[in-house]
Amino acid sequence: MHITILGSGTCVPSLERSSACIKVTDGTTTVLLDSGPGSLRQLMRAETEINDIDLVCYTHLHVDHTADFVPLLFASKYAPLPRTRDLAIMAAPGFRDFYDRLTYAYGDWIVPENCTLVWLDAGRPAVFGSLTITAAPVRHTPHSIAFRLADSSGKSMVYSGDTDYCREIIDLAVGCDVLILECSFPDDQYHEGHLTPERAGKIAAEAGCRQLVLTHFYPDCDPQQAVPGAAKKFRGCIHAAHDLIEIKL
């Protein structure tokens, strides 16, 4: 499994950090987890064609996690060649309705002609190539979910999307190799519905993951200080993500 964090930032415009987006591939199957604004350009930097994506997973409907869904659909119709393979979507409850409402605004410009959007039920595991994808609700918006991807060799990664400390993310992440958690704010600026370094470290410790990767840094959260903050609770390996960081399992 090869993980690339395409965007380690938030809704705050940044030349350093693009909005939330992670690419996961087993070598043949490519999965995108969230696609905030700027994700399509980040995909190009990771040398990935948009038509290579098999499945897009969305944790929730916030703009910093979904905005490039529209450009993805629009570009898939035209460039560089129209997409002909189906595109699967596994997303938080309400996403299908969200897409239908987007078509009221954009019309047929975002309705594929040469391929089909396949809507998967996030309540059930999905298998793509050697990857099995499962989802669980987390504490952010009422319909937010997190994803776990496991390959056939037993390696696994979990991505929180946006969440607060909750039992569900711990249960989803039990024993995983890499746990990628949002780390929006420093510990002295806790906002309900988001994590801080210590809260992220607590989740990693209770889940017993091997490695913790912190991402989704608002400007007030210094990644260099976030690592020792999380280390107060978690003794395993901790990294602060930056855009295009790669993790190979």
Distance CA 208, CA 246 (A): 22
Q: Name the residue nearer to Zn ion (CB basis): 133 or 183.
A: 183
Phi-psi region of 100 (alpha: psi -120 to 50; beta: other; left: phi over 0): alpha
Q: Name the residue nearer to Zn ion (CB basis): 76 or 163.
A: 163
The contact pattern for Zn ion, residues 158-197, with x = CB under 5 A and - = no contact, is: ----x-----------------------------------
Give me the least distance between CB of 181 and Zn ion, in Å please: 12
Joined together, the tokens standing for residue 24 give 């996961």
Give the interface segment with Zn ion, choosing from 22-30, 87-95, 97-105, 157-165 (CB under 5 A). 157-165
Q: Which of 17, 22, 51, 62 binds Zn ion (CB under 5 A)?
A: 62
Q: Name the residue nearer to Zn ion (CB basis): 23 or 62.
A: 62
Q: Which of 26, 54, 64, 177 binds Zn ion (CB under 5 A)?
A: 64
Q: Name the residue nearer to Zn ion (CB basis): 132 or 141.
A: 141
Give the interface segment with Zn ion, choosing from 108-116, 155-163, 217-225, 234-242 (CB under 5 A). 155-163
Nearest to 133 by CA among 154, 116, 152, 148: 148
Give me the least distance between CB of 184 and Zn ion, in Å please: 7
Residue 181's SS3 state is: strand
Give me the least distance between CB of 58 and Zn ion, in Å please: 11
Give me the least distance between CB of 10 and Zn ion, in Å please: 5
> C-alpha distances in angstroms, 5 versus 59, 61, 131, 148?
15, 19, 18, 15
User: Amino acid letter at 180?
Assistant: I
Give me the least distance between CB of 163 and Zn ion, in Å please: 9
Give me the least distance between CB of 162 and Zn ion, in Å please: 4
Give me the least distance between CB of 30 and Zn ion, in Å please: 22
Rounded to 5°, the CA angle 129-134-135 comes to 145
DSSP notation for 69-85: HHHHHHHHHHSSS---S
Q: Name the residue nearer to Zn ion (CB basis): 217 or 234.
A: 217
Q: Name the residue nearer to Zn ion (CB basis): 17 or 62.
A: 62
Q: Which residues pair with 4 in a beta bridge?
A: 23, 246
157 CB-side CA count, 13 A: 25
Give yes or no for a cis peptide into 80 (omega within 30° of 0).
yes
Residue 128's SS3 state is: strand
Distance CA 236, CA 61 (A): 32
Q: Name the residue nearer to Zn ion (CB basis): 151 or 162.
A: 162
Instruction: Please report, as ranges, the residues that interact with Zn ion according to CB under 5 A.
Output: 62, 64, 162
